[in-house]
Amino acid sequence: MPKTLTTDRLILRGVTAADAPAYQKYFNDYEVIRQLGHHVPWPYPENGAADFIQNVILPEQDNDKWVWAIFLKTYPTEAIGAVDLWRKGSPENRGFWLGRPFWGQGLMTEAVTIVMDYAFDELGFETLIFSNAKGNIGSRRVKEKTGAKLIDVQPGKMVDPIYTEVEIWELHKYEWQAYRQNS
């Protein structure tokens, strides 16, 4: 299991099969799914989260791939989103989503901050690459707010066909350390 990480407001712990109902509840939302890569099915199947956790997340968990469920400290029994990190970039090394009721409170910025500390300080990453659909302002802002640099725009296909390009971002360990010292 990935190491459990905590922040002021959040607990991030490795996804388990028990998180499937909450994962399904918040992930099965077009406003969440439409921003993601086109391989995510829409309409989202009834057993989509349980299948994904069982067949995709758990077999790779902690094996150069780390998938944390996000919990509010004030309600630590229900996952409200997830952050994942993987060693072999595609080209990106990180993904995230948060249930819509929780958007706009700085929660994902808080979650990725502790995940990046862990990635650079404990997992040995020297560089992280991120990506988002060009036009996904929330995801873009999370990167801007955490010191990443936009390095490219490429053609891309998301669930919502309105998106046709992806922005690629880069963050080096030394930049993150400088950013953390000044923040």
- Interface residues toward ligand COA, by CB under 6 A: 32, 35-36, 96-98, 103-109, 132, 136-139, 141-142
Using the minimum distance from each CB to ligand COA, give the nearer residue, 76 or 174. Answer: 76
The smaller minimum CB distance to ligand COA, of residues 34 and 172, is found at 34
Q: Least distance in Å: CB of 98 to ligand COA?
A: 4
Task: Report the C-alpha gap between 12 and 123 in whole angstroms.
Answer: 16
Nearest-5° Cα angle at 101, 50 to 163: 75
The least distance separating ligand COA from the CB of residue 182, rounded to whole angstroms, comes to: 17
Cβ distance to ligand COA smaller for residue 53 or 108: 108
Side by side, the strands of the sheet bearing 10-14 are: 5-6, 10-14, 65-72, 81-86, 94-98
CB of 58 to ligand COA, least distance (A): 21
C-alpha–C-alpha distance, residues 148 and 43, integer Å: 33
Q: What is the smallest separation between the CB atom of 125 and ligand COA, expressed in angstroms?
A: 18
Residue type for position 90: S
Residue number with CB closer to ligand COA (61 or 136) = 136
**Minimal distance in Å, beta carbon 87 to ligand COA?**
19
When the beta carbons of 160 and 175 are compared against ligand COA, the nearer one is 160
Which helix (H) or strand (E) segment holds residue 170: the answer is strand 165-172
- H helix or E strand, kind and range, residue 95: strand 94-98
CB–CB of 32/25 below 8 Å?
Answer: no
Nearest to 19 by CA among 70, 65, 62: 70
